[in-house]
Amino acid sequence: MTTQSFADVEFVVRSIAQICLDNEKEFGDLDAVVGDGDFGYSLARGFEVVVKDWDTYDRSDIGTFLQKIAVAITGRIGGTSGPIWGTAFLRGATLAKGRDELTGDDVVAMLRSAIDGIKARGNADVGDKTLLDALVPMTDTIEASLAAGKDGATVVADAAASAREAADATVSMLAKRGRAAYSGERSIGSVDAGATAVAVILERLAAQWPDRPTVA
């Protein structure tokens, strides 16, 4: 029988996929300001496969499910985004292997592991004007909100607000990684597409969280 944890994981993954499809042009336009403009297209091509093959993924446990998602997007997302996003899902999958239930602490650990994987794969860190600049503060906020005993909907809302604030703050940063880094000082004055994508995803999740599927 599907647990609420598993249902929540499915909800989050399916939402991420749909958000990337819905925002293909917007994410691409953001990336085109100082990058090569393929970010939105690349994410959409990867996650459209996830949507198409949704019912076929092995759901033996949460880790196996996430591993299958990781393989699917890594094989289809082009450029640097494929390895980065694939690594994030794969790191989370490793910690969830054999699990049907996840605690808030488990989710934080999965996010921390994903962050470490992204840092290693992309040779990047906070301050380099990448998705890490939204993902790290968002994770910090989730951990703090859980420690404060807040309910799930509030935790997600707090995370969304944190991600948006952090993503907007990348406007003043100098890009140090990816194609945007070649633009030098010209990269200052526009937000990072990856960080903004994290914010958009969390905002949609926060809006939909109270109405997500629940297991009786």
- Confidence (pTM): 0.92
- The residue written with tokens 């949507």 in the block is 51
pLDDT at residue 216 is higher than 90 = no
What is the rounded distance in angstroms from the CA atom of residue 185 to the CA atom of residue 28?
21
What pLDDT digit, counting tens, does each position of 13-42 carry?
Answer: 999 999 999 999 999 999 888 776 788 999
120, burial (CB in 10 Å: exposed 0-12, middle 13-18, buried 19+): exposed
Residue 132 tokens read as 């890490």
State the chain's mean pLDDT as an integer. 91
4-209 — its CATH code?
Answer: 1.25.40.340
pLDDT at 175: 73
What pLDDT digit, counting tens, does each position of 59-87 carry?
Answer: 999 999 999 999 999 888 877 788 899 99
What pLDDT digit, counting tens, does each position of 168-188 carry?
Answer: 999 988 676 665 554 555 558
Q: What is the mean pLDDT of residues 102-128?
A: 95
CB 107 within 8 A of CB 142: yes
pLDDT at 176: 64
What pLDDT digit, counting tens, does each position of 178-215 carry?
Answer: 655 545 555 587 899 999 999 999 999 999 999 999 99
In what helix (H) or strand (E) does residue 62 lie, and over which residues does it extend? helix 62-76
pLDDT at 182: 43
Instruction: Kindly list the domain boundaries of the chain, sorted by start residue.
Output: 4-209
What angle do helix axes 24-32 and 39-52 make, rounded to 10 degrees? 160
